[in-house]
Amino acid sequence: MADSVNEESDYVPGKDELDWGYEEGVEWGLHFPAANGEYQSPINLNSREAQYDPSLLDIGLSPNYVVCRDCEVINDGHTVRILLKSKSVVTGGPLPSDHEYELHEVRFHWGKENQRGSEHTVNFKAFPMELHLIHWNSTLFNSLEDALGRKNGILIIALFVQVGKEHLGLKAITEVLQDLQYKGKSKIIPCFNPNTLLPDPLLRDYWVYEGSLTTPPCSESVTWILYRYPLTISQMQIEEFRRLRSHVKGAELPEGNDGMLGDNFRPTQPLSDRKTNQRGERSRSVRTRMENQGKAKLMGLHISCRLKVDKEAFELQTLLHALC
């Protein structure tokens, strides 16, 4: 399909996209009851309190992504979305055994300034941007909609983004954002490789926890995997996102609303009784320590048995001497 731009604002919001925004004081829970749930996202990730899980080293997380042809990039007034057609899946890691999670789309969240923008924070520190690779369990369900709110239904892989060197993999996106200035605009790009969004294979330590969608309807039963090491994009690239608008062309804006798309992140939510696990170098240390403790225990049992045998042999020998 040829590279093309939809010139008309033909965006039609769905049911779950009505009556919500990121303005201060907006109560999503009034319209979307799931937003009042106990296990909501995003959260603050406390690196010292997250538990290192050695089992995450046994089965590696395996993203099997393929290049997508004729992907659609959309400004929906809340974010930029990349809708993927080709079947890219993720398996392994903390996911249920033999389950495939199919990549549906990519979404971005960014701040109007570099000091904020990410939805999750790490030790209360925010990044300028966070991107989400949204997957659904294609082993159990027939579609993303079918999987929402269902156990083991949704997986979101998140990556923090910092400002620095240009990201070559995102050039295909940032170079067309000028054509998506207003809400409802979309563009077909010839190809996009989601593998370019993943960190270097040697830098794939991550946190994992159970939460929710960060946008309405805020359905829970979402498995979150957040890579520890951020991607890097240039200042020029992030400014392309900040030039986008949250309204259709020609719309009359409320007083005090500049119409610029940005600061599209939900505040962090209470952790409640949830725990976060980590996969990383200390996971290896924990597993090594557990293995060493096991070996020491076996060695102790061996020594104990040997001493018992030696004692019994000595007592038998003493008895034989007495009989003689």
Does 32 share its domain with 112?
A: yes
Domain end marker among 247, 263, 279: 279
Does 302 share its domain with 234?
A: no
Query: For residue 315, what pLDDT band results from cuts at 50, 70 and 90?
Result: low
Does 14 share its domain with 71?
A: yes
Does 197 share its domain with 94?
A: yes
The confidence score (pLDDT) of residue 217 equals 95
CA distances from 270 to 43, 230, 260 (A): 7, 24, 29
User: What count of Cα atoms within 13 Å lies in the side-chain half-sphere of residue 55?
Assistant: 9
Position 301 pLDDT exceeds 70:
no
For the question of residue 104 being annotated catalytic, the response is no
H or E element: which one contains 81? strand 80-83
Helix, strand or coil, per DSSP, at residue 106 = strand
3-state percent helix, strand, coil for the chain, nearest multiple of 5: 25, 25, 45
Does 266 share its domain with 179?
A: yes
The per-residue pLDDT for range 219-242, each reduced to its tens digit, is 999 999 999 999 999 999 999 999
Which tokens is 60 given?
């590696």
Torsion of CA 157, 161, 166, 168, to 10 degrees: 0
The residue range of the domain holding 295 is 282-324
Prediction pTM value = 0.84
The confidence score (pLDDT) of residue 207 equals 98
Average predicted confidence (pLDDT) for the chain:
87
Omega into 217 within 30° of 0, i.e. cis?
yes
Catalytic residue among 78, 104, 167, 247: 78
Dump strand ranges (E) for 112-228.
121-122, 129-137, 154-163, 186-192, 206-212, 220-227
Does 73 share its domain with 122?
A: yes
The confidence score (pLDDT) of residue 2 equals 39
Q: Span 47-76, mean pLDDT?
A: 94
Does 57 share its domain with 196?
A: yes
| Domain count within the chain | 2
Position 115 pLDDT exceeds 60:
yes
The confidence score (pLDDT) of residue 288 equals 45
The per-residue pLDDT for range 187-226, each reduced to its tens digit, is 999 999 999 999 998 889 999 999 999 999 999 999 999 9
CATH number for the domain that contains residue 21: 3.10.200.10
Position 297 pLDDT exceeds 60:
no
Does 179 share its domain with 129?
A: yes
Q: What are phi and psi of 168, to 5 degrees?
A: -65, -35
Does 100 share its domain with 187?
A: yes
Does 179 share its domain with 166?
A: yes
User: What count of Cα atoms within 13 Å lies in the side-chain half-sphere of residue 65?
Assistant: 21
Does 180 share its domain with 86?
A: yes
Does 17 share its domain with 86?
A: yes
